[in-house]
Amino acid sequence: MLVLHGTWLPAGTAVKDRGYFFVWGEMVPGTEFPDAVLPRRRGRRPRGWHPGQAEMADLHHGLALKQVPETIRLWLLLPTSGGRPQFSPLVPVTGTPDDANGEVTLAPWLVEGFLLSVGQAVELLLYKRFSFEAVLPAAEWHFWRRVALWAMELLARQRFIPMLDEKTYQAVWRPVFNAAEDMHRLELLARSMPPACLAVAGLKNGASPGKEDSSILPAPGAMLMDFVRCMVQEKISGWLASMPAARFEGIRSQAGARWVEALRRGGGPVDLPEEVLKTMAGELIAWRSPVSRRQASFRTCFRLEPPPEPEEKDVRDPDAGEDETWTLRFFLQAVDDPSLLVPAEAVWKERSSTLHFLRRRFENPQERLLADLGQACRLFPPLIKALDTPCPTHCLLSTAQAYTFLKQAVPLLKESGLGVQVPAWWSGEGTSAGLGLRLKLRQSSKGLSKGVGRGIISLHTLVEFNWELALGEETISAAEFQKLAAMKVPLMRVKGRWVEIDPAQMEKALNLVAGKGKKFSLTLGEAMRLAAGIPSGSAPDPGDLPVTGIDAEGELARVLEELQEESKLTLLPTPESFRGQLRPYQVRGFSWMVFLSRMGMGGCLADDMGLGKTIQFLAFLLHRVEQGLSQGPALLVCPTSVVGNWQREAARFAPRLRVLVHHGPNRLQGKDFIREAKASHLVLTTYALAQRDGRLLASVEWDGVVLDEAQNIKNPGAKQTRSVKRLKCGYRFALTGTPVENRLSELWSIMDFLNPGFLGPAADFNRRFAVPIERYGHREKTRRLQQLVRPFILRRVKTDPRIIQDLPEKQESNVYCNLTREQATLYEAVVREMLERIEGAEGMERRGLVLAATTRLKQICNHPAQFLADGILEPKRSGKMMRLLELLEEILDGGEKALIFTQFARMGEILKNQLQVRFGREVLFLYGGVGQRQRDRMVERFQQRSGPALFVISLKAGGVGLNLTRANHVFHFDRWWNPAVEDQATDRAFRIGQKKNVFVYKFICSGTLEEKIDRLITEKKNLAGSIITTAEEWLTEMSTDELRELFTLSRQAVDED
């Protein structure tokens, strides 16, 4: 495995006269890439050579470079202990270092790496996707990737200008950082720069650094500015070079034409006399002054104030608004505290060059105010009249001028670094209350729902509708609206609210309501799509006019209200046969499922992990059975790793349900399966079998189909997705904590399973929603999509105060996992050998054989690599590992932290390695060999908000003395079989200072001694006064027959998919 390091070397700090990106790497000791094409270096290394650095052959292979860049050697200041550099935290070094408790200092080490141009670096940083099994980018790599992404954002927002360098007069492109948010971003990035980015202490060829305790690189802010400048120059030059030369012809000025030609060539010298260049540079500096303001602690701010409310004037009077006067007031504004405003009146009253206001100093405030007003006049000419007064404090505007200010001048003033405050009802895209439409619905007498009971309202219910005009949330008549349209002013006051009305939208709206007497028919689902701006059926297309809501009457109004607002749902009593107590939010969840199923609609229960999606569905299923609503068996499709968990949870909370498991090599087929399925309430199967046994499953009329971990159908074209969509059923539900992981197409796929056709064809969805939202962040499209899917997605998060009060402070659950075939084979071989050997053994020998076999079986249940020590750490070899990765992915996506306990140090090494490979981030590992100082540092880092999110701890090392309250998820990967010890480990997170609810997961391999011993422990714990305190010793007292029963592998233990 290769760990990638890299940093920017500004011009003058390396051997070149321009900036380069320096890349080097570390390799896991004793490993190399066998397919590397470059020759390997042999022989002695120079003095100070870093012993863990990667060979150039491995670095070249890991980066997948087509050419061989120039190599360079640099001295880096690296953490050092015991005379050796410390490995990066990402390098899975095993064993205990001799100097674990030694003092850590910075010392120079010689490393060799590649020099990459800014273009090569950006290509790798932004577009290269590494396989984490082979290459892990270090913290510096991730940091420079964030910087490159920010630079691309600046380019996308056109935050750059062409210039002449003030010293060399060369043509250059420069980024613009005048906006407050960009300067703040630059400061944040500079403060978060990893120290490794500044570690360069000397140059190449083995020469020892002149000063061993300092970097030769500039400060973080200067390094960032230099990198962004070089990247902007590189990208724009590349784009211009790809454009036809004809695009740049016709420039009348010879000087301008040659300057542009130099810019097209990628920058550099301009073929003009020095005097001409000097004059041109001065003109360009003056030209760019609006966007290159010097950094100051204050600036001028403009606040637009609407006219006062009229007392008697009719707000629909055509004369209203024409004579109203707006006020644009001037202030000085503190850059670091925008709420601190100094009125212009106070500025002009000050007689000295320093103004003191609310304990702040403003130097030369009058000069600043006048200079900014002069600059603003070029952007908004109506301000010129304010400069006619000796001490300008404000400017009066007409409604038309105020509208121009809002639509055109505000973004220009902000771009120039000036402050602007506008009324709260104005957003960057217009007024919050604008012209729109409302759908007026009534249930049609022509037809009823398809596929649901008579009289039941569903997505297929036919409705009649017409359009009504609305301003904001209020409807107005066509006559009233025509009166407003006659004003011909795009900004007007209606019922005390200012609204913007586009003349083109006026005409469109009038055309739509012109045929109000005509009735249109469509289904309720089509009406909901129409409300989200999607043309449906024969209904008139609203175009870009927003639909602000739906109005209905009677039962239709009630259904729409419950669909749109989950709080309006009718809550149902917990089913009588449900064993357990549902929390209030869980009652709401299963009631929501009942409501949707009655309406013939599908829904996605998307609660956070740990909030009980399983028992909410079981309560829903029991309700249908008890109320006689069930029309046959329900089919639940889930990952193989949770089949056993579903079976156990059903037996625990809903024992009345008859459950059939369709899984494993001995699963029923043909008529036998159909007969048993029809006799069951719930059939469990896996995604793999939903595809493999698709025809068999499709032969059953299912009451409903439910998908657990529904992100498994996020790929619409996958065979298993197509298989589950073909199943015939009455209702459909999806259970997942992550309905959207990466792309909106995943949401479409799940919704298309739940309510086929509701979001339209995939291509239409991508064009209408996915592309505008994902590529351009389109707010209105986002709002419309949320409006469309909100009724069918119920999501609650653990941080919601309403949920927190319903949860216990500590919630424990068992996570059942299957063995892989390899694990099962190894397990049975160890059991067979042990039973043969203990037949003739007695006393201490027998006890030793039993304890040794127990340990080996636990190792096999963890991962074959722990038992075999073969170094093959592939997660697919272990059912436990695969399930852990699935759960951690959801935890990390939610920004939470977790502890993973194991009693084996070797297993801890495997976990650390695989978690780092899977998630590409640092994982802490605490075991008995870690010294106190290093241990304290690990705890300190984990407790920091920005510290590593995963902490692997050996149970012996982590049982006492640790405070790890940043974690709210605790995993026991293997079991100590001593509840007191496990509780003590859990309490590292669940203790004083913990502000979140703690979720504890105990991993158990189904059908193995782990499950059987867990059952015994539970039974003993439930006996009054009975406490197990001697771990595994009590196993040694069992007879051979008892051990055979305990250790023999059950048939359901193996994952057969």
Q: Does residue 559 form part of some domain?
A: no
The whole-angstrom separation of Cα 387 and Cα 895 is: 53
Local structure of residue 984 (DSSP, 8 states): H
Hey, which of 258-267, 622-631, 794-803 has the most confident mean pLDDT?
622-631
Residue ending a domain, among 702, 724, 739, is: 739
Residue 538, pLDDT score: 64
Residue 578 has pLDDT above 90, yes or no: yes
Helix, strand, coil shares of the chain, percent, nearest 5, are 40, 20, 40
**How do residues 698-731 score in pLDDT, each as one tens digit?**
999 999 999 999 989 988 888 999 999 999 999 9
Beta carbons of 523 and 463 less than 8 angstroms apart: yes
**How do residues 741-794 score in pLDDT, each as one tens digit?**
678 899 999 999 999 988 889 998 998 888 888 887 788 888 888 888 888 999
Q: Model confidence at 808, in pLDDT bands (50, 70, 90)?
A: low
In this structure, the answer to whether residues 319 and 449 fall within a common structural domain is: no
Q: Of all residues in the chain, what percent carry a pLDDT higher than 70? A: 85
Read off the CATH number of the domain in which 582 is found.
Answer: 3.40.50.10810
The whole-angstrom separation of Cα 927 and Cα 472 is: 62
- State how many domains the chain has: 5
Q: Which residue has the higher pLDDT, 802 or 588?
A: 588
**How do residues 134-167 score in pLDDT, each as one tens digit?**
788 888 999 999 999 999 988 888 888 888 887 8
The whole-angstrom separation of Cα 397 and Cα 325 is: 6
664: region left, alpha or beta (phi > 0 left; psi from -120 to 50 alpha): left
Q: Does residue 168 form part of some domain?
A: no
**How do residues 538-567 score in pLDDT, each as one tens digit?**
666 676 677 777 888 778 888 887 777 777
Residue 823, pLDDT score: 94
Beta carbons of 842 and 781 less than 8 angstroms apart: no
Query: Which 3-state string (H, E, C) describes 86-149?
Result: CCCCCCCCCCCCCCCCCCCEEEEEEEEEEEECHHHHHHHHHHCCCCCCCEEECHHHHHHHHHHH
**How do residues 68-113 score in pLDDT, each as one tens digit?**
888 889 888 888 877 888 877 776 555 444 444 557 788 888 999 9
Residue 131, pLDDT score: 62
In this structure, the answer to whether residues 411 and 440 fall within a common structural domain is: no
Query: Which 3-state string (H, E, C) describes 271-305?
Result: CCCHHHHHHHHHHHHHHHHHHCCCCCCEEEEEEEE
Question: In Å, what is the CA distance from 207 to each residue of 73, 109, 200?
Answer: 9, 11, 13
Beta carbons of 178 and 47 less than 8 angstroms apart: no
Which residues lie below 8 Å from residue 351, measured CB to CB, with a gap of 6+? none
Residue 480, pLDDT score: 76
**How do residues 472-524 score in pLDDT, each as one tens digit?**
767 777 777 777 777 777 788 877 778 887 777 777 777 777 655 556 777 88
Calculate mean pLDDT across residues 648-665: 93
Question: In Å, what is the CA distance from 958 to each residue of 497, 641, 921, 938?
Answer: 62, 28, 22, 12
In this structure, the answer to whether residues 904 and 1031 fall within a common structural domain is: yes
Q: Does residue 191 form part of some domain?
A: no
In this structure, the answer to whether residues 647 and 536 fall within a common structural domain is: no
Q: Does residue 186 form part of some domain?
A: no
Residue 1027, pLDDT score: 39
Q: Model confidence at 1057, in pLDDT bands (50, 70, 90)?
A: low
Tell me which of 37-46, 108-117, 449-458, 692-701 is least confident: 449-458
**How do residues 961-988 score in pLDDT, each as one tens digit?**
567 778 889 999 998 777 766 777 776 6
Residue 705, pLDDT score: 97
**Phi and psi angles of residue 1000, each rounded to the nearest 5 degrees, phi first:** -115, 130
Residue 451, pLDDT score: 44
Beta carbons of 950 and 898 less than 8 angstroms apart: yes
Residue 450, pLDDT score: 46
In this structure, the answer to whether residues 450 and 384 fall within a common structural domain is: no
Q: What is the mean pLDDT of the chain?
A: 82
Residue ending a domain, among 739, 766, 794, is: 739
**How do residues 297-331 score in pLDDT, each as one tens digit?**
788 999 999 998 766 444 444 444 456 899 999 99
Q: Which residue has the higher pLDDT, 1055 or 812?
A: 812
In this structure, the answer to whether residues 587 and 623 fall within a common structural domain is: yes
Residue 453 has pLDDT above 50, yes or no: no
Residue ending a domain, among 382, 399, 427, is: 427
Expressed as residue numbers, the domain containing 595 is 566-739
In this structure, the answer to whether residues 484 and 405 fall within a common structural domain is: no
Residue 107, pLDDT score: 85
In this structure, the answer to whether residues 403 and 306 fall within a common structural domain is: yes
The string of DSSP codes covering 631-680 is -S-EEEEE-GGGHHHHHHHHHHH-TTS-EEE--STT---HHHHHHHHHT-
Residue 122, pLDDT score: 92
Question: In Å, what is the CA distance from 883 to each residue of 308, 779, 867, 922, 1003?
Answer: 64, 37, 19, 20, 9
Q: Does residue 714 form part of some domain?
A: yes
The whole-angstrom separation of Cα 657 and Cα 578 is: 10
Handedness of CA 120, 123, 126, 132 (dihedral sign): negative
Handedness of CA 73, 74, 79, 82 (dihedral sign): positive
Residue 420 has pLDDT above 70, yes or no: yes
Residue 723, pLDDT score: 92
Q: Does residue 928 form part of some domain?
A: yes
In this structure, the answer to whether residues 344 and 463 fall within a common structural domain is: no
Q: Does residue 745 form part of some domain?
A: no
**How do residues 930-944 score in pLDDT, each as one tens digit?**
877 888 888 888 888
In this structure, the answer to whether residues 826 and 963 fall within a common structural domain is: yes
The whole-angstrom separation of Cα 46 and Cα 112 is: 11
In this structure, the answer to whether residues 419 and 440 fall within a common structural domain is: no
Local structure of residue 929 (DSSP, 8 states): T
Q: Does residue 124 form part of some domain?
A: yes
In this structure, the answer to whether residues 361 and 332 fall within a common structural domain is: yes
Which residues lie below 8 Å from residue 160, measured CB to CB, with a gap of 6+? 154, 173, 174, 175, 176, 232, 236
